[in-house]
Amino acid sequence: MAVLDLRDALNQALKEEMTRDESVFILGEEVAEYNGAYKVTKGLLDHFGPKRVLDTPISESGFTGLGVGAAMMGLRPVVEFMSFNFSLVAIDQILSNASKMLYMSGGLFPIPIVFRGPNGAGPRVSSQHSHNMESVYAHFPGIHVMSPSNPADAKGMLKAAIRCNDPVIFLENELNYSAKGEVPDGDYIVPIGKGDIKRAGDAVTIIAWSRMMNLAHQAADELAKQGVNVELLDPRTLKPLDMPLIAASVKKTGRVVVVEEGHFFCGLGSQIADSIYTNLFDYLDSPIVRVAQSENPMPYAANLESATMPSVAKIIQAVNQVTYRT
C-alpha cells in the first residue's frame, strides 16, 4: 500500500497493464515526449519506447479511428484525449464505429479500447472547455462509462477497463489529479459495474462520482455536526450502474440526493432517479433531489463559474430538502 496522487495511480495502472500485456499501447496528443498534458503518462515512453507510446497530430478523429482499427486487429489501445471536450471532434468514430462494431460484425470484431482523459470543468476555461460528457456517452449501447473519485479506484478501474473486451469511456477530472490516497500494490482490480459505499449512514443516500464525491464528503462532514448521518454511494461505473448496491442503500435510508457535475436537463442523474423511482418507489420517504450544473454555458468569471457549479452548500440544501429540515 502506498500513498499516491490520482495521476500517479493512473500511471501505475498503465505501466502494470503494458508490462502484463504487450498488445496494450497508448496514443494521443503529447502523451510521449511531453509525458502527457497532465503527466499521467510520465516515464512511459522511456520505459516502453515509441512503438507503444505514440504522440499523434492534433487530429482527434484521425487517431481515434486509428485506435478503433487497431482494436479490430486484436490490439488494446488506450486513447488519451487531452480533454474530453476534444472527444467531440471524434464522436463519430467512438459512437458510430467503436461502440457498434461488435454488433455490426455479428460478433466478429470486439473492440477492446479505452478512451480516457479529463472530463468536466477546469478552472476558468469557460464555455468551450467545460463540457461534462458522461450522459452523452452513456446514452449509447455498446460502451461502458467509468469515472473514478479517488486514487485507489482510479488504479483498479483503469486496469479493469484495459482488460475489457468492449469500448470503455474512462472519465477523469483535471481538478482531481492531485488528490492523494492509499493505493493497493500489485494487481488491484475494481470490476466494471461495481459501486462502493464511501461512508455509511442511515439518514439519506447521496449518490455522487468523480470530483463531486469530494464535495459530498465535505457536505457529509458538515451534516454530521448537525446529527444527520449521510450515506455516500459512488457508482464508479456509470454504465452499467450497480443497481443492487443502490437498492440496498435506498432501502436503508429512504431518501436520495444525486450530485453530478453535468447539466441538470438530461443529466445522468435523471436516469439514476428514474431507475430508483421505477424499481424502489415504495421505499422512498421523499422525492429524489438532484444537484447539478445550471442550465447555461460555463462563464469565465470565477464568481459566475462558482454559481453555475454544484457546491457543498447546494448539497446540504438538497439533503435538508429530502429530510424536510427546511
What is the DSSP code string of 37-75? TTSTTTTHHHHH-TTTEEE--S-HHHHHHHHHHHHHTT-
Q: Do 208 and 260 contact (CB within 8 A), yes or no?
A: yes
CB atoms within 10 A of CB 237: 24
Rg over CA atoms, the chain: 20
Binning the chain into helix, strand and coil, the percentages to the nearest 5 are: 40, 20, 40
Helical packing angle, 243-253 and 268-280, nearest 10°: 70
**Residue 130 to residue 153: CA distance in whole angstroms:** 23
**Residue 235 to residue 5: CA distance in whole angstroms:** 21
- Residue 316 CA to chain centroid, in angstroms? 23
**Residue 104 to residue 316: CA distance in whole angstroms:** 47
Copy the grid coordinates of residue 22: 504487450
Strands of the sheet containing 289-293, edge to edge, are 196-199, 230-234, 204-208, 256-263, 289-293
Hey, which residues are catalytic here? 60, 129
Peptide bond into 148 cis (omega under 30): no
Q: 30-60: buried (b, 16+ CB within 10 Å) or exposed (e) per residue?
A: bbbeebbbbebbbebbeebeeebbbbbeeeb
Residue (of 56, 37, 38, 36) closest to 46 by Cα position:
36
**Residue 2 gets which letter from DSSP?**
E
